[in-house]
Amino acid sequence: MAASSRTFLAYQHDWNLLSLDTPVTTVYRFNELEDPNRQLFPAGNDDDHVVATEKTIFHPQGGGQPSDVGTMTGPAGTTFTVTAVRMDATGQGQVLHLGRFGDGSSSAFSKGETVRQEVDAEKRLLHSRLHTAGHVLGAAVRHLLEKEVQDFDELKASHAPGSASCEFQGLIEGKWKEPIQKRVDQYIADKREVRVEWWDEAMFREKGLERLIPDRSLMLGEKFRVVNIVGAEVYPCGGTHVDTTDLCGPTSVTKISRKSGKSRVSYAVN
């Protein structure tokens, strides 16, 4: 698999963009992928193709958020159903869209032709609601417990339907479930704006948020993408979100579990 130019991540600039026309840069048969990239797609088989494009509105799986699914349609009406999306494993910044052409493996897009990408809007909205709700939950837990729980820190999160949770360093007792729920409810009722900002390292330091400075491999140019829930919390984040916190919908703190000095707070959106 030859090195290719970095895919422009259109969804990072406008997460409400659900269709986009963009040129094809490469089409691979699944069995032509290098092994590290084949391993990104456990469900892939020899009937599948992988399409790379100049731009994409498809969010690749990562940062706790599942990948988008949808379709690409060529100028002659050829349809490619996108079933999984990943960032390539080679470090070239190319987004790989796995799927299958409508009339089988004998038909494919041509390099350079413009295709129309369309994301499954219902799944995108669900993933965006869950992702924003996860940030709201993280903010609620931090503001309530940062000084109450020994060695507190935010670790990682999953924003997948049916298994959404945020993990924290430190032991969070069950008595905190109701206060966390109340704070989450308040942030959502406040209809706080959720906006994308681009920060360099100096901006993190100026705001006293050195702890949030991400790995430099996540930078776009000289700046990091951050998602700011205005008046609540800022997170380095490459995912999609809703525009205001109330659009998460009712969000339930479902369980707090503890193991090996860490706590997991599970949640769901309704």
CATH code, 68 = 2.40.30.130
- Where does a domain end: 118, 137, 165? 118
- Given a cut of 70, whether residue 105 has pLDDT beyond it is no
168-222: per-residue pLDDT in tens?
A: 999 999 999 999 999 999 999 999 999 999 998 888 888 888 888 776 655 555 7
More confident position, 62 or 222: 62
Q: Which structural domain range is residue 99 located in?
A: 6-118
| Residues 210 and 110 both lie in one domain | no
- Given a cut of 60, whether residue 75 has pLDDT beyond it is yes
pLDDT of residue 212: 80
3-class secondary structure per residue, 121-177 = HHHHHHHHHHHHHHHHHHHHHHHHHCCCCCCCEEEEEECCCCCCEEEEECCCCHHHH
- Contact yes or no for 237/63 (Cβ under 8 A): yes
Pairing between strand 114-119 and 55-56?
unpaired
- 171: amino acid identity, one letter: L
- Given a cut of 80, whether residue 85 has pLDDT beyond it is yes
- Where does a domain end: 61, 95, 118? 118
| Residues 113 and 128 both lie in one domain | no
Q: Can you name the residues that pair with 115 across neighbouring β-strands?
A: 22
| Residues 111 and 126 both lie in one domain | no
123-177: per-residue pLDDT in tens?
A: 999 999 999 999 999 999 999 999 999 999 999 999 999 999 999 999 999 999 9
For residue 151, being part of any structural domain is answered with yes
Total domains in the fold of the chain: 2
- Where does a domain end: 70, 100, 118? 118
pLDDT of residue 217: 55
End-to-end CA distance of the chain: 42
For residue 1, being part of any structural domain is answered with no
214-261: per-residue pLDDT in tens?
A: 766 555 557 889 999 999 999 999 999 999 999 999 999 999 999 999
- Given a cut of 90, whether residue 50 has pLDDT beyond it is yes
More confident position, 112 or 90: 112
The residue among 159, 157, 163 whose CA lies nearest residue 262 is 157
